Amino acid sequence: MSSVEFFFDLSSPWTYLAFVNLQPVLQRTGATAVYRPVLVGGVFNAVNPGMYAAREDANNRRLKQAFRVMHDWAELSGVALRFPSQWHPARSVLAMRMAAALEPDPAGLQRFAAEAFAAYFVREENLDDPAVLAAAATAAAHDGSALLAAAATDPVKARLRSNTEELIERGGFGSPSMFVGGKLFFGNDQLPVVEQELLRSAP
């Protein structure tokens, strides 16, 4: 069975779109996904610092176009998207530590990610609010308080750092970064070629 590694940060709207749009790709190909939480800010700091300057330029034509196309993609995919909200850009450290705590439970991590994405990109809630994240965890059939406590532990923090460093070492530069058979793909718009690669790599 073929598989895709999905390195992600919950604060990224393109990652939200890719997370939702990956599901039918997996169904069509019979492939599986391995979800890998990272801190996209750590990736930017290491290999893509120009992203911060681009965000600060209110007249950046490329970003204006990207924002418009993002909503076009959401409409095309039938994905609810309310972005940007008052909480953009979001601080995602706590959210991603909670995600990292769930990495040993792939199905649980997927459920939590779906709920956290909905909180931020559909209901316009604060991704950095522990109460919002605990509620997302509870909606995903987890103990919200216990998951918040786990996120504060050193092993979970170390796992998130390790995932982020691994992505950088493997050539990643943002979220979502997807690997199929060691080949890197980036962003929601590359899902068609991700699907092609999954079909090629299927036994």
pLDDT of residue 49: 76
Which amino acid is it at 168? I
pLDDT of residue 53: 61
Q: What is the pLDDT of residues 1-25, one digit of tens each?
A: 899 999 999 999 999 999 999 999 9
* pLDDT band, residue 54 (cuts 50/70/90): low
Orientation of helix 144-151 relative to helix 130-139, angle to 10°? 120
Residue 58 pLDDT > 70:
no
Find the DSSP H helices in the chain: 13-29, 40-47, 50-56, 61-77, 93-101, 106-121, 130-139, 144-151, 154-169, 191-201
* pLDDT band, residue 55 (cuts 50/70/90): low
Give SS3 for 148: helix
Give SS3 for 189: helix
Q: Find the radius of gyration of the CA atoms of the chain.
A: 16
Of the candidates 72, 7, 65, the one whose C-alpha atom is nearest the C-alpha of residue 40 is 7
Residue 54 structure tokens: 């681009």
Q: What is the pLDDT of residues 64-115, one digit of tens each?
A: 898 899 999 999 999 999 998 999 989 999 999 999 999 999 999 999 999 9
Q: Which CATH number characterizes residue 140's domain? A: 3.40.30.10
* pLDDT band, residue 57 (cuts 50/70/90): low
Q: What is the mean pLDDT of residues 149-159?
A: 98
Q: Which domain holds residue 104?
A: 3-201
Of the candidates 95, 106, 86, the one whose C-alpha atom is nearest the C-alpha of residue 16 is 95
Q: What is the mean pLDDT of residues 39-61?
A: 78
Q: What is the pLDDT of residues 158-194, one digit of tens each?
A: 999 999 999 999 999 999 999 999 999 999 999 999 9
Q: What is the pLDDT of residues 117-138, one digit of tens each?
A: 999 999 999 999 999 999 999 9
Number of domains into which the chain is organized: 1
